[in-house]
Structure 1
C-alpha cells in the first residue's frame, strides 16, 4: 500500500475489492455453519467478504481498528492513533439464494469503535446491482461511481436527494410495528405520488431513496424495540451519507448521528429520507 491519505486509501481498497466480492458470491450461496454476533445465520459469502476486507483494510497505514457485523470483537490493526473502519461486508446476504440485490456498507471513524456518527469522516456503500456502483460521502459531498475491475469512474458529483420524493420502503413484519408507525406508514401509502420500493436488502432500498427521493425505514418493532439494523455498521454510515446529500436521519426522535453507543453491536431504528417526510415521521412517533 502506498503512502497517502488513509481515508482515500480505505475508500479505494473497498472499491477495488468490490469486483472480487461480487465474483466470490458464486459458489458461496449456502449458509455457513456459524452465526454472527447478532445471532443471525451467516452465509458463506458473508464470511468470505468479511475476511477479504479485514485483511486488506487492516494493512492500511493509518488504520487502527477494523470492526464488522460478522465478528464479535474489533481487530487491532497496530496504528494506535489511526482511523477505525466499521463494515457490513455483505448487506442483504439473505438475497443470495434468490439472486437479488446486495451491498457492502462502510463507515470511517476518527474515534475508536464503538463511536457516535459524529465521529465519521466518510461513509458509503457498494451496490451489487446490474451495475456495481459506489456511493460515498466525504467533506459534505456525495459522489457516485461505477466500478469495473480496478477502475472507479465518477458518474455523479454533489448528489442531493430530489426535492420531490418518489419512493418509500418499510422493513419489519407489519404485525410487529408499533401503532404509531403503522399509522404513519398507512398515511404514506395513501399518497398517490409515492411508490413502494422494497427489495429486502437495505442498501438497495436506501439507494432508491438517494436516487429518487423519499423515505426508507426499518423501525422499532414490538419484539425489537431498538430495531434490527446495527448502529456502527449500517445506521451511522447510512445516516451520514443521506444527511450529506441534504436529507435527514432519525431513530424516531432525533438524528441517528447523535446517538452515543454502548456496545459494538448496538442496534438502532433507522429512518432516512427527505426532510419533510422524516419530520412527519417524528411527529407521528412522539
Structure 2
C-alpha cells in the first residue's frame, strides 16, 4: 500500500490496521445507548467506541490537521496550531450501517482524506476508502492514480484487485428510503430500472455500493417528499463514495450534478441525495429528475 504522500499513506494504513480490531470490538457493543448522533439518529455502543478509537489514532498522525466524524458534533483541530489550516483533513463514518448490528448484517467504515479545511468540496479529496465487514474484511481504496481492493487481517493487508473499474454491463441496483415517500419523478425512474436490473439492498451503504462496484449498476438514496435533502451526509458518505466510484470510471450525482462539485454549507453534517453507478444510469437519472 505504497502512495506518493506519506501522510495519506499513514492515514490509510492506520485505518487498515484498525479495521480488524473494530470488527472484533463489535461483539458485546450491539445495544443502543441513550444518545443520538448530530444527525438525530440513535447510536449503538459500537458507533461511539469505533469513533473514539479512530479519532485517537488518526488525529495523532503528523500532517493531519482536522478530524471529523458522523458521530460527533464538532471538528477536532489536531495540528500543533489549532488555528492552522495546513495539512490534510479526515472525515470518517466509523460504522456505516450500524443499525445492521441488531440483525448481524454487513456494515462498514468510510474515510475521506481532503486537502482542504472541512467542510470541503469532494474535488478536494486526495484519497477515499471504505472497509466492508462482510464474510471477509476488505478495503476498497481510491487515490488519484487507481482503485484497489485489499483483504485485511490482523496487522496485514493483501491486495487482491487493482485498477478496478465498473463493469460495462450493469447488473444490480439498490434504492433507499420508504417507497411511499419517494417523489413521483424518482418513482418513475425506479420503476424503469427495476425491470432491467436485479435488486440488491441491505441497509448499509457500503455493502450496496460494493455490489455496484463488483457487478455494475446503481445505488441511490434519493431526496424524499418528507426530507428533500435525503439521508446521507455529504462530507462523510457522499463525497468519499462518489470519489471512489468516479475514480473507478463511474459517475456520482445529487440528482443534478456530480457530488464532487457541490459547494458545502457550513454544516459538517449537511445531508444530500446520493446516486452512484454506471455513467449511463446516472445520466438517465438526471434527465428524469430535471
Q: Identify the match of residue 276 of structure 2 among 269, 272, 281.
A: 272
Q: CA offset at residue 33 of structure 1?
A: 1.7
Residues of 1 paired with 2:272 and 2:145: CA distance? 23
Give the structure 2 partner of residue 157 of structure 1: 162
Residues of 2 paired with 1:175 and 1:6: CA distance? 46
Q: CA offset at residue 242 of structure 1?
A: 0.1
Give the structure 2 partner of residue 11 of structure 1: 12
* Secondary structure class of the residue paired with 1:280: helix
Residues of 1 paired with 2:59 and 2:243: CA distance? 23
Q: CA offset at residue 140 of structure 1?
A: 3.6
The Cα offsets for residues 150-172 of structure 1, whole Å up to 9 and x where unpaired, read as 10000001000000001000000
Give the structure 2 partner of residue 188 of structure 1: 193
* Secondary structure class of the residue paired with 1:217: strand
Matched, 1:77 2:82: no
Residues of 1 paired with 2:224 and 2:145: CA distance? 32
Matched, 1:219 2:242: no
Residues of 1 paired with 2:195 and 2:23: CA distance? 38
Give the structure 2 partner of residue 237 of structure 1: 240
Residues of 1 paired with 2:50 and 2:34: CA distance? 16
Q: CA offset at residue 223 of structure 1?
A: 1.0
- Runs (5+) with no aligned partner, structure 2: none
Residues of 2 paired with 1:136 and 1:182: CA distance? 33
Q: Identify the match of residue 201 of structure 2 among 198, 201, 206.
A: 198
Residues of 1 paired with 2:230 and 2:185: CA distance? 15
4+ residue runs of structure 1 moved beyond 2 angstroms? none
* Secondary structure class of the residue paired with 2:167: coil
Q: CA offset at residue 139 of structure 1?
A: 1.3
Q: CA offset at residue 103 of structure 1?
A: 0.1
Give the structure 2 partner of residue 104 of structure 1: 109
- Runs (5+) with no aligned partner, structure 1: none
The Cα offsets for residues 212-237 of structure 1, whole Å up to 9 and x where unpaired, read as 00000000001111100000000000
Give the structure 1 partner of residue 152 of structure 2: 147
Residues of 2 paired with 1:253 and 1:13: CA distance? 35
Residues of 2 paired with 1:140 and 1:270: CA distance? 24
* Secondary structure class of the residue paired with 2:135: coil
* Secondary structure class of the residue paired with 1:56: helix
Residues of 2 paired with 1:142 and 1:216: CA distance? 18
* Secondary structure class of the residue paired with 1:232: helix
Q: Identify the match of residue 179 of structure 1 among 181, 184, 190.
A: 184
Q: CA offset at residue 238 of structure 1?
A: 0.3
TM-score of the two chains, using structure 2 as the length reference: 0.96
Residues of 2 paired with 1:20 and 1:224: CA distance? 36
Mark the CA change 1:174 to 1:85 in structure 2 (over 3 Å): closer, same or farther: same
The Cα offsets for residues 79-135 of structure 1, whole Å up to 9 and x where unpaired, read as 431110000000000000100000000000011110010110000100000000000
Give the structure 2 partner of residue 31 of structure 1: 32
Give the structure 2 partner of residue 285 of structure 1: 289
Give the structure 1 partner of residue 50 of structure 2: 49
Aligned length in residues:
281
Residues of 2 paired with 1:269 and 1:216: CA distance? 11
RMSD: 0.7
Q: CA offset at residue 32 of structure 1?
A: 1.4
Residues of 2 paired with 1:238 and 1:146: CA distance? 19
* Secondary structure class of the residue paired with 2:168: coil
TM-score of the two chains, using structure 1 as the length reference: 0.97
